[in-house]
Every structure is written in C-alpha cells, then in structure tokens.
C-alpha cells in the first residue's frame, strides 16, 4: 500500500472528507424519501384509483424493481468509468422522473414513471457506497459506509412521511402529486453540490492515474507517495468466479433475507397500521412517522458500536431481537394497537441498529476496487428484489392469511441470518484495511 493510502486509512476523517461523505450520503436521503413516499401516497392513491391488493403491491414495488436495473447496469459502469461521473448523472435522471411522477394521469403511467425513478435510485447506490468505502479511514469505515448512509436514508423516509401530513391538509386527494414532485428539490441541490467533489483516489490508483489520485488525496488533506497499483478492468464474470463467487453469494443471501423481513418496518408500515390497526389516515401517518424516529436511533447507536464491538456481535444483537419481536407481534399485535405500534418500534430499531447497516458495509468492503460497484450492484439488487417481493406480497397476505401468520413468518429470515453470521467467518472483518480484505 502507498504512503498516501496508509495515511488515508490511519487518520480520522478530515473536515473535507466529512463534507464529501455527508454530501455523497445525501443520495440515500433522496433514496429514502422517494422509496418511502409511496407508502404514504398509497393511502390516497389506493382509493383514488380503486386499486386491488395486487395493484397496490405492484405499485409499491415499482421503484424497487427499477432500482434493480440501475444497480446492475450502473454498478458495472461505476467500476468502468469512475464513481464521480455516475453519482452526478444519476441525480439529473432522478430529478426528471420524480417530476414526471407528479404529472401522470393514470396508474400505469405512474407505474412506469416510478420504475424510472427507481433506476435513478439504483444508479446512486453502488456508486456512492464504493466511494465512501474508498475514502473512509479503516476504523471509521463501518460508521461512514453503514451508519451514515442509513441515518440519511431514515431521515429521507421520515421526511416523506411527515411532509405527507401538511400536503394532505393543503391539497387533499392531489397531495400525492406534490409528495412525488417535491423529491426533485433536494436531488437538484445535491446534484449541484456534488459537482465539486474529486474522484475516488483508490479508483484512480487502480487505473494507474497517479497524478490525479495525488490531487484527489490532497483535497482530503492527505499528502504522500502514490504508487501505481493497477487492478485491471474487472467484470461481472470475474465477480461470479472464485474467489469472489462465494463472497458475493453469502452477502447476497444475507442482503436478501434482511431486506425481505426488514421491509415490514419500512414501506409496509403505513399499510399495516391502516389495514390491521384500522387507523385513520392522520393517525396512520403520525404512527408511521413515530416509527421512523425509533429507526433513526438505530444507525445512531450502530455508529458507536459497529467499529468497536465487531460486525458479527452487532449482527446477532440485531437479528435475534427482531425475530423475537416478530413472533410477539404474531401472537398479540392484531388484538392490541398499543402492542402493534410498540412492536414496530422494536422491529425498526433492531433492524436499523445492526443488520440494516452491516449489509451495506459487507457489500462494499469485502471486494476489490475494480469490482466494488458491481458487488454492491449484485448484492443490493437482491435486496431490492426482496423488498419488491415483500411489498407485493404484503397487501395480498394481509387480506388472505392475515397479519399474524404473515409477520410471524418474517421472524425466520432474521433467525437464518443470525445462524449464517455466527457460522461464517467472512462476516467478522472489523478494522482491516480495504487492501487486506481484498486479499484475505
């Protein structure tokens, strides 16, 4: 490793690194806002368009389906052409189709627009996570790559839910148009600010562009020798061959299980409170917003713990309580609204305090620079497929097998993650340099 990269790994975050990290993480604020705004909007759209449970599920899943395309296509392109170019372009794409969502005339036009919004969201995820992994010090990488991203994501989700209340009061049945359209505002502002960020120095070094890498490192307050470390171009074919195939399979599996079960406490929350708790629209949104407050506490706690107690321990103290809470909700949640809301507090805190953070960390830090965008694209793609599947299934399950069976079964994926993380040594990698993880 070059002296400059050693300095990058050893020092605490400089003010410039902190600014860059927050600005890049704002992509997840936009992601959280726009993916979760559908949960609030569906309260209106469901009756406005007379949607069946299947149509509700399909519309709720639309953005996640588009995100899979963006993840896979632009995970590859971010490894080929750099991080900076993609995380600037994607926001322009997002702005256009967020505004388009606000002006559609029927549910199928909205479905198409939301898929394209999802593509924009999917562009950002592998690019931003790779960038953050590559600029973060090793002893703060979990907090930057996992906790910071998730704090921003939860803030975006919370904003979308809280904003729905005054918009519904002001615009009534047309509030959903404003909910979608206003997502373009922060995206446009972040787009302007991101243009001043340097390229990832690690990506530049992997391409043999040492002078540019030295200049990028200097912007972060780091001086030192930059030696060439060419890695080649990488490809999905390489990612899916040994030695990386096993890693991507394990991380993808954990991502899928977490996102399938954990999505009950995200976009499905308003739907559950409305249909199971029989709450009014206002009560549904207020209760959902209060769940996001407990969710925000989760990554705040993980920021303190993730680089101290180890990835494995944090995963276990997250997934096991989630599973136990899901079982308690299956037994008592439907008959007792207080238990229902309180259970969602615990579900939300548990997932965001641990496993919801860790999957983002594992998806980037376990892979080399030439494959880091692709690895996050594949692993997070499985996550989005899992969320889309559960969001499609949720309204159908609630109207057929019922809430108790549905939420009880969601305990199983979290218990499975606990067993996998406990048995597979790959998932304990706290405090290592990225280059050491690539070779281990």
Tokens of 296: 């925000």
The C-alpha angle with vertex 362 and arms to 357 and 363, in degrees rounded to 5, equals: 100
**In contact, 95 and 78? CB cutoff 8 Å:** no
Print the SS3 string covering 310-331: CHHHHHHHHHHHHHHHHHHHHH
Residue located via tokens 């599920």:
57
Helix-helix angle 149-171:15-48, to 10 degrees = 40
DSSP-derived secondary structure for 342-380 = HHHHHHHHHHHHTHHHHHHHHHHHTS-GGGHHHHHHHHH
Token pair belonging to 352: 């965001």
CA 20, 24, 29, 30: dihedral to nearest 10 degrees?
Answer: 140
Of 350, 415, 387, the residue nearest 260 (C-alpha): 387
- Whether residue 186 contacts residue 87, with contact meaning beta carbons closer than 8 Å, is answered with no
Between CA 353 and CA 299 the distance in angstroms is: 5
The reported pLDDT for the residue numbered 440 is 44
The CA-to-CA distance between both ends of the chain, in Å, stands at: 15
Looking at residue 417, its pLDDT comes to 97
Is the previous residue joined to 243 through a cis bond, with omega within 30 degrees of 0? Answer: yes
pTM: 0.83
**Quick one: fold of 3-439?**
Growth Hormone; Chain: A; (1.20.1250)
Contact 126, 374 (CB under 8 A): yes
CB distance 347 to 265 below 8 Å? yes
Q: Tell me which residue has tokens 């992601």.
A: 31
Q: Quick one: three-class SS letters along 83-101?
A: HHHHHHHHHHHHHHHHHHH
The three-point CA angle 221-83-375 to 5° equals 115
Indicate the domain borders of the chain.
3-439
Q: Are 334 and 402 in contact (CB under 8 A)?
A: yes
What are the Cα distances from residue 245, in Å, to 184, 288, 369? 38, 39, 16
* Per-residue pLDDT at 273: 81
Q: Which DSSP category does 286 fall into?
A: H
Cα–Cα nearest to 421, from 250, 302, 298? 250
Q: Give the C-alpha separation, 239 to 380, whole Å.
A: 14
63's tokens: 């953005």
Per-residue pLDDT of the chain (440 residues; tens, 9 = 90+): 567 777 777 778 888 889 999 999 988 898 888 877 877 787 788 777 777 777 777 887 788 889 889 999 999 999 999 898 888 788 888 889 989 988 988 888 888 998 999 898 889 888 988 999 888 888 888 888 888 888 898 888 888 878 888 888 898 888 889 999 998 998 899 888 888 899 999 899 888 888 888 888 888 888 766 766 666 678 999 999 998 999 999 999 999 999 999 888 776 777 778 777 667 777 777 777 788 888 889 988 988 888 888 889 999 999 999 999 999 999 987 778 888 888 889 999 999 999 998 998 898 888 988 899 999 999 999 988 888 788 788 878 888 888 889 889 999 999 999 999 999 988 876 555 555 555 44
């Amino acid at each position: 490793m070059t002296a400059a990269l050693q300095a990058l790994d050893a020092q605490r975050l400089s003010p410039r690194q902190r600014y860059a990290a927050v600005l890049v993480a704002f992509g997840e604020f936009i992601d959280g806002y726009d993916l979760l705004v559908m949960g609030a909007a569906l309260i209106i759209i469901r009756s406005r368009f007379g949607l069946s449970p299947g149509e509700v599920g399909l519309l709720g899943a639309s953005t996640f389906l588009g995100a899979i395309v963006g993840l896979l296509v632009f995970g590859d392109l971010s490894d080929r052409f750099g991080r900076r170019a993609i995380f600037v372009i994607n926001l322009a794409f997002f702005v256009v189709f967020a505004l388009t969502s606000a002006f559609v005339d029927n549910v199928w036009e909205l479905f198409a627009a939301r898929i394209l919004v999802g593509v924009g969201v999917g562009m950002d995820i592998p690019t931003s996570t790779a960038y953050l992994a590559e600029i973060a010090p090793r002893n703060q990488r979990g907090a930057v790559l996992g906790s910071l991203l998730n704090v921003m994501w939860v803030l975006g989700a919370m904003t979308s839910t809280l904003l729905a209340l005054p918009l519904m009061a002001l615009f009534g049945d047309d509030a959903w148009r404003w909910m979608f359209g206003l997502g373009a505002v922060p995206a446009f502002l972040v787009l302007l600010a991101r243009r001043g960020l340097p390229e990832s120095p690690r990506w530049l070094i992997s391409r043999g562009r040492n002078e540019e890498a030295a200049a990028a490192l200097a912007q972060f307050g780091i001086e030192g020798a930059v030696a060439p470390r060419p890695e080649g171009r990488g490809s999905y074919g390489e990612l899916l061959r040994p030695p990386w195939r096993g890693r991507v399979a394990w991380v993808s599996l954990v991502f899928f299980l977490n996102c399938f079960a954990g999505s009950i406490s995200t976009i499905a929350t308003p739907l559950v409170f409305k249909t199971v708790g029989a709450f009014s629209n206002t009560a549904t949104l207020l209760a959902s917003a209060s769940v996001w407050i407990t969710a925000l506490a989760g990554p705040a706690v993980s920021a303190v713990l993730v680089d101290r107690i180890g990835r494995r321990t944090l995963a276990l103290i997250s997934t096991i309580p989630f599973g136990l809470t899901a079982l308690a909700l299956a037994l008592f949640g439907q008959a007792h609204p207080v238990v229902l809301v309180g259970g969602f507090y615990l579900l939300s805190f548990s997932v965001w305090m641990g496993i919801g953070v860790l999957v983002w960390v594992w998806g980037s830090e376990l892979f080399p620079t030439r494959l880091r965008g692709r690895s996050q694209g594949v692993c997070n793609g499985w996550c989005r497929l899992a969320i889309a599947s559960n969001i499609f299934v949720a309204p159908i399950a609630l109207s057929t097998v019922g809430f108790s069976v549905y939420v009880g079964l969601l305990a199983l994926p979290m218990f499975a993650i606990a067993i996998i993380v406990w048995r597979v040594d790959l998932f304990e990698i706290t405090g290592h340099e990225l280059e050491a993880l690539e070779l281990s």
